[in-house]
Amino acid sequence: MISAYVNTLINDFRNYYLSTIFFTTYFYSMDKTQGQVYRLAVEYFDSKQVTIESLPQSGSKRSYFRVSLGDDSVIAAYNDNVKENEAFFTFLRHFLKKQLPVPQLYEVSPDDKACLLEDLGDVSLFDMIPEEGVQPENNDLVEWYKQVLSDLVRFQTEGHKGLDYSVAFPRSEFDERAIRWDLNYFKYYFLHVSGMDYDEDALQNGFDVLIKRLQSVDTGCFMYRDFQSRNVMIKESKPRYIDFQGGRKGPPHYDVVSLLYQSRAKISPIVRENLLEHYLDELSKVREIDKQQFRRDFEYFKLVRTLQVLGAYGFRGYIQLRTHFLKSIPYAIKNLQEVLSGARLPDELKPLTDILKLLVEKQTSRERKSSDKFTVSLNSFSYLMGGPPEDDSGNGGGFVFDCRGLPNPGRYAEYGHMTGKDEAVIRFLEEHNEVSRFIENVFRVVSQTIDNYLDRGFEHLMINFGCTGGQHRSVYCTEQLHKRLKQEYDVRFRVRHYQQEMY
């Protein structure tokens, strides 16, 4: 009896010791953010055996993780900005009381920087959109959009009632200051960066007119602020809504524009008109509206939202060099072109729209430099197994870029069987801003040389990317630079992944 009792004590102590070692090793291998998320998750699940998976970062500084224990999982969010978090928690709790389709809130850390939310899965409305965009023949998808617009009316009206806007961040209302922030965002992070000459006085006069028009519209609704398809999750065949922490009191028009004029969604004009009419029908069921006046005011919101998006893409893309936003800029410019071509705006806005039309012309008139004799050879290689490939053109070689200073997916078991061409590896690398900066800096150096070589009649340029194993980072960088160069140059390209060709 005593022996059995002693053995039980020994086993209990051993299990406790091993779990403590696991906790200590796992905890100290994390950064500060993951450490706080881990502590919150351990308390919630009452287990130290949880696993934490980093999720792709959005346009903000917030970090997201999927925390799992067996078949159960939650989403953890971390954000240093406590005031923004306070807005999110307040809005979320209010919407839950109103039975609006938002995620459940499970836990909040004592410092209000981390929280655990219901896991809504990985499929968003945006993921359901085909490459050609939302077209009239996509009947099921159009029905999804109608449901989302019906839900939007609920957020704007039911969600508005009793909501504490005093916690809204950074502004409680879509007022003059908030509008100027959006317009200056566009001015400084997109228009200035474009290098286009323009009459700044005319631009400011146009901004003043636009602000005056926007402020004349009723603001008695909840303005979601970033109501677009990436923030609509699909769980159990129903839409659920996230990322409303930037919400404020405002006019209903803005959110409708955000959804229907989302550049990457490429919604057909026919579908867009159908959806707008559906929204107006739904809104008219709960409040009295003048549909014609709504449509006239809608033109101003189309313009201001499009400029705000371009400002965001400019900041995230040109300044922070984040790949997703750089790729989105051409779509946003096409959107601006469409907004300007169909807009019914007063003559007093003409100085502003003239500047915007020049911007569109500048952005869309770039012709690719071409040569049927010039070849760009792009290669990936392993420093440990072979080193840079030999030049076979006879000109002595070219660029060699070392990718070993970039975050390495090869350190994680889940990426071991993949290469830099696989979507999971691409997502991992694009989460890190230094990778985007690296690619952008390489592009600038290489494109300068290509321009010079084309002018001088050269026929070949070799560009090599190397990493430790020649599997992830070098392959990714080779593929990404190839895509960027193809957009700018109509020349011959040859792409080889030397380490991968050995298998």
What string of H, E and C letters represents the secondary structure of 461-491?
EEEEEEECCCCCHHHHHHHHHHHHHHHHEEE
Residue 268, domain member (yes or no): yes
Place of tokens 């071509």: 341
Check residues 163 and 16 and name the one with the higher pLDDT: 163
448: helix, strand or coil: helix
Q: Which of 364, 383, 408 is the last residue of a domain?
A: 364
> CATH number of the domain that 181 lies in?
3.90.1200.10
Verify that 406 and 493 share a domain, yes or no: yes
Residue 8, domain member (yes or no): no
Q: What are the tens digits of pLDDT across the range 184-230?
A: 999 999 999 888 899 999 999 999 999 999 999 988 999 999 999 99
Verify that 160 and 193 share a domain, yes or no: yes
3-class SS letters over 121-135: CCCECHHHCCCCCCC
Give the pLDDT of residue 310.
Answer: 95
108 — phi, psi (to 5°)?
-130, 135
Verify that 271 and 224 share a domain, yes or no: yes
Verify that 143 and 239 share a domain, yes or no: yes
How far separated are the first and last CA of the chain, in Å rounded?
61
Q: What are the tens digits of pLDDT across the range 456-488?
A: 999 999 999 999 999 999 999 999 999 989 888
Cβ-based burial of 255 (10 A; exposed 0-12, middle 13-18, buried ≥19): buried
Verify that 256 and 334 share a domain, yes or no: yes
**Mean pLDDT of the 312-334 span:** 84
Say which residues have a Cβ less than 8 Å from residue 262's Cβ, sequence separation at least 6: 228, 229
Residue 9, domain member (yes or no): no
- On whether the CB atoms of residues 466 and 380 are closer than 8 A, the answer is yes
305: helix, strand or coil: helix
> CATH number of the domain that 79 lies in?
3.30.200
Give the pLDDT of residue 23.
Answer: 41
User: Would the pLDDT of 287 be above 80?
Assistant: yes
Verify that 176 and 279 share a domain, yes or no: yes
User: Would the pLDDT of 25 be above 50?
Assistant: no
193: which 2 tokens?
């960066």
Verify that 402 and 477 share a domain, yes or no: yes
Q: Which domain holds residue 474?
A: 369-501
Q: Which of 118, 140, 156 is the last residue of a domain?
A: 118
Verify that 85 and 112 share a domain, yes or no: yes
Q: Which of 348, 364, 380 is the last residue of a domain?
A: 364
27 — phi, psi (to 5°)?
-65, -45
Total residues found in the chain within this entry: 503
**Mean pLDDT of the 163-167 span:** 97
Residue 10, domain member (yes or no): no
Give the pLDDT of residue 57.
Answer: 66
Verify that 227 and 313 share a domain, yes or no: yes
Alpha helices by DSSP H, listed for 79-225, are 82-97, 139-157, 176-186, 192-194, 200-215
Give the pLDDT of residue 10.
Answer: 43
Q: What percent of the chain has pLDDT over 70?
A: 92
Q: What is the DSSP letter of 124?
A: B
257: which 2 tokens?
């524009």
215: which 2 tokens?
């402020």
Residue 196, domain member (yes or no): yes
Q: What is the DSSP letter of 121?
A: -
Residue 15, domain member (yes or no): no
User: Would the pLDDT of 301 be above 60?
Assistant: yes
Verify that 178 and 286 share a domain, yes or no: yes
Using alpha carbons only, what angle is made at residue 17 by residues 16 and 18, rounded to the nearest 5 degrees? 95
User: Would the pLDDT of 14 be above 60?
Assistant: no
User: Would the pLDDT of 2 be above 90?
Assistant: no
Whole-angstrom Cα Rg for the chain: 26
Verify that 334 and 403 share a domain, yes or no: no
Across the beta sheet with 105-108, what order do the strands follow? 51-54, 63-69, 72-78, 114-118, 105-108
Q: What is the DSSP letter of 199?
A: -
Q: What are the tens digits of pLDDT across the range 332-376?
A: 999 999 899 877 888 899 999 999 999 998 887 666 677 889 999
Check residues 263 and 56 and name the one with the higher pLDDT: 263
Of 34, 107, 22, 21, residue with least CA distance to 66: 34
Residue 14, domain member (yes or no): no
| Total structural domains within the chain | 3
Give the pLDDT of residue 368.
Answer: 66
Verify that 57 and 158 share a domain, yes or no: no
Strand partners, 118: 74
Place of tokens 């040859």: 494
At 54, the pLDDT band (50, 70, 90 cuts) reads: confident
286: which 2 tokens?
């709960």
Residue 1, domain member (yes or no): no
47: which 2 tokens?
């287990």
